[in-house]
Amino acid sequence: MSGAGFSPDSQVKIVVDDPKRVVVGSAVIGSDGKFQTSVVVPRAQPGQLKIQVMGTSSSGRPASLDQPVLVLADATHPAAADNDRHVTEAVLIALSIAIPLATWLVLELLGWRHRRFGGGSP
CA 16, CA 20: separation in Å to the nearest integer?
8
Question: Looking at the structure, do residues 55 and 15 belong to the same domain, yes or no?
Answer: yes
67 and 82 part of one domain:
no
Residue 48's pLDDT band, with cuts at 50, 70 and 90, is confident
With 90 as the cut, is the pLDDT of residue 55 above it? yes
- Calpha distance 116→98 (Å, rounded): 27
pTM check: above 0.85: no
Say how far apart CA 52 and CA 33 lie, in whole Å: 17
**Mean of all residue pLDDT scores within the chain:** 82
Indicate the pLDDT class of residue 121, thresholds 50, 70 and 90.
low
Q: What is the average pLDDT across 56-74?
A: 84
* pLDDT classification of 49: cutoffs 50, 70, 90: confident
- Whether 7 and 67 share a structural domain: yes
